[in-house]
Amino acid sequence: MKKAVYIIEKDPKWLIREERRVYEARADGKLARKRKRFRLIDVFAGAGGMTLGFSKSFGHAFDSVWANDFNDYCVKTYKANFGDHCLSGDIVDILDDPAVKIPKADVVIGGPPCQGFSLLNKNREGDPRKQLWRPYFEIVERSGAQVFVMENVPQLLNSFEHGEIMGTAEAMGFKVWGDVLCAADYGVSQTRRRAFMIGCKFFDPAEVFPPRKSHFNPSKNGSGQTSFLKADGNGCLPNAVKWRTVRDAIADLPRPKGTEIRKEDPPLDLHFGRTPTATSLARYKAIPKEGMNRFDLQERARELTPACWIRKKEGGTDLFGRLWWDRPAFTIRTEFFKPEKGRYLHPKQHRPITHREAARLQSFPDDFVFKGSKIEIARQIGNAVPPLLAARVADVVYMLLTMNNR
C-alpha cells in the first residue's frame, strides 16, 4: 500500500494509465495467462454472471473456489460452467454447519437478494431479505478476503441498511465506496442500472471506482472523449466506443422455431418462441413501429387494450413496448417473454424476445450453459449481473490486488 500511495503522490495520473493497461490487457487475453492468479468466492451466485465477468472467459485471472445459491437450478448452471464447488441451500444454514469450511480467497463477490430493496416489492419494509448481507460478510471474514464487491438494486445506496453495511465493513477494516453503474456504459446492449459497493482493506477504492466507461451514449456525450481525469465523474476510456444496440446483439439470429428448448447447438437451443392468442397477436400487429407501447395501443386499437391499462393514466410507459433496433434494450427482467411486463417486443417481428435474445442482451456468450426449465432459465437470465459489466468491475479489483502485490 505504501508503495502504491508513493507512486500516486509522485504521479497522480498513474492510476488512470494503470486502469487503461489492465482493461487493454484483459481484452487481449493477457491477464488470463498471468501466473499470478486470484481466488474468488461468489455468494448468492445465481447463474454466475458475476463469476463469468471475473473469469478466464472474459480475460481475467480470477479462479472461483467456492460459491453458493439457494436455487438448485442456479447451482446446476453454475456447476456446468465453473466446476463442482457451488453449494445449494440457505446460506445461514450452510454457515451454521460445522462441516462446511470456507476456503481462503482474495475477493468475495455477490448480490444478496435484491427484492428486499426493490421498488417492485410493495412489502419491502421489514423484508427479512434486506438482512442477508450479514452472512455475506461472515464469508468475507472467514475467507480472509482483502477485497469485496456487493451488487444490488440502486435503492440499496439510499437505504438504512446501506449505513449498516458501511459500518460493518469499516469495523472489519475495509475502506468502502459505492456507485450506480449503467450496463450500457460498459459494453452491454442494455441500460440496466445496478448499485455496486466495493471494499478494500489496503487502499481507498474511491480512488479507482467506478471504472471509466468503455462505451458512451452517442446522443449525449458526443465523441465520448472526455477528460481522462477521475475527477470528471463522467470520464471514458480514451478508446471508448458507442453504446452497443439491440441490433448489435441479436440481428444475426433467424426467426425462432417452436415453443420449447430446442435440441440444437447454441445459439438456437434457446431461440424458441411462444404461441400467442389471437388477441395478443392482434395487439402486437397494432403497434408495429419501434418504440411504441401500451399508450399507442390504446390510441390505435382501444378495443384491444385491457381495461386496466385504460384506467391507468400514468406510469408503466414501457409496458407492451417495442424495442428499438439502434438503441440498447431496457432492463431485462425475469419475465422478458411477457410483453405486458415491459419493453420486450422484438423491433420488427410480432413477438416478444426469446431466451437467447435476452441472454445476449445481458451479454452472456452463446456457449454459456443454462440448466433447468424455460421458466427457471428465464429467471437466471433476468436476475444475472451482466458479465460484461462485471468484467469492468473485475478490472478495478484486479488493479487493486496487483497493486498490493507490487
Q: Which residues are designated catalytic?
A: 114
392468442: which residue's cell?
277
Amino acid found at 126: G
Question: CB within 8 A of 314, min separation 6: which ones?
Answer: none
User: Nearest-CA neighbor of 186 among 362, 404, 376, 380?
Assistant: 362
DSSP notation for 316-329: -TTTTPBPPTTS-B
Q: Whole-angstrom Cα distance, residue 173 to residue 309?
A: 51
Please state at what angle helix 374-383 crosses helix 72-82, rounded to 10 degrees: 70
Please state at what angle helix 133-143 crosses helix 160-171, rounded to 10 degrees: 10
Which ranges constitute the DSSP H helices of 71-211?
72-82, 91-96, 133-143, 160-171
> Are residues 269 and 262 in contact, defined by beta-carbon separation less than 8 angstroms?
yes
